[in-house]
Amino acid sequence: MTMKYGDKIIYMEGVIVEIHDGCVGIDLKGRLGYLKIPMRMLITDYPLVVGQEVGWNMSFVEQLGPDANEKYVSNLQTYQRRQEEMKSHKKNDEV
C-alpha cells in the first residue's frame, strides 16, 4: 500500500537504558517515550553501556487503511490467551 503523505525526516536522540542479548531499550529525549529495538538494527563501533546516547532519523507513522490485519489480531489473541494460561498454571502450581 502506498503512503499518502510525503516523508519528513526528523532527527531523534535517546539514551540507552537497557541492554539484553537480543535488544536494546532506549529512552527518547524530550520525554517522548521508550523504544526497544533488536540488536541487529543498532550500528555501533563501541561496546554498549547503559547511559550512552544514540541518534537516528525517523519519520511519522501513517495508518495504511481502516481495516485490521486479521492474521495479526488472531496471533495477538492467541499469544495473550497462552500468557494467561501460563499465569493460571503457575498460580495453581504454587497453591
For the stretch 30-87, pLDDT in tens is: 989 999 999 999 999 999 999 999 999 998 888 888 999 999 999 999 999 999 999 8
| Domains by residue range for the chain, with CATH | 10-60+68-94 (2.40.50.140)
Query: What's the predicted TM-score (pTM) here?
Result: 0.68
With 0-12 / 13-18 / 19 or more C-beta atoms within 10 angstroms meaning exposed / middle / buried, residue 19 is middle
Closest CA to 12 of 61, 46, 75, 71: 61
**What are the start-end ranges of the E strands in 29-69?**
33-38, 53-58
At 95, the pLDDT band (50, 70, 90 cuts) reads low
Neighbours of 35 (CB within 10 A): 15
For the stretch 12-28, pLDDT in tens is: 999 999 999 999 999 99
